[in-house]
Amino acid sequence: MGLLQKRVLEVIDNLNWLLESHDSSVELLEVKGNKVVIHCEGQCMDCETDCVNVAFRERMPEVELVFQ
């Protein structure tokens, strides 16, 4: 596991404890170069606060986040 993938998983772990209370979760599907592919489940998919994007922009602005 590379450093970028470890950092991505740390962000996802921090998000998931918050999202659990909203019956939601984020799962890492792939890291390829600076592209991070994730899957969101639950209410977070339609949430207006966009906390998943915000968390990645704040902690890892160098990655391109792709939702599947």
Domain region containing 46: 3-67
User: What is the model's pTM?
Assistant: 0.90
In 6-56 the beta strands, taken as DSSP E runs, fall at 25-32, 35-41
Let me know how many helices (H) and strands (E) the chain has, helices first.
2, 3
Assign residue 30 the CATH number of its domain.
3.30.300.130
Domain count, the chain: 1
Q: Give the pLDDT of residue 1.
A: 82
Listed in sequence order, the residues at least 6 apart from 28 whose beta carbon sits closer than 8 Å to its beta carbon are 5, 8, 9, 12, 36, 37, 38
Q: Which amino acid is at 15?
A: L
What's the DSSP call for residue 5? H
Tens-digit pLDDT profile for residues 1-33: 899 999 999 999 999 998 998 899 999 999 999
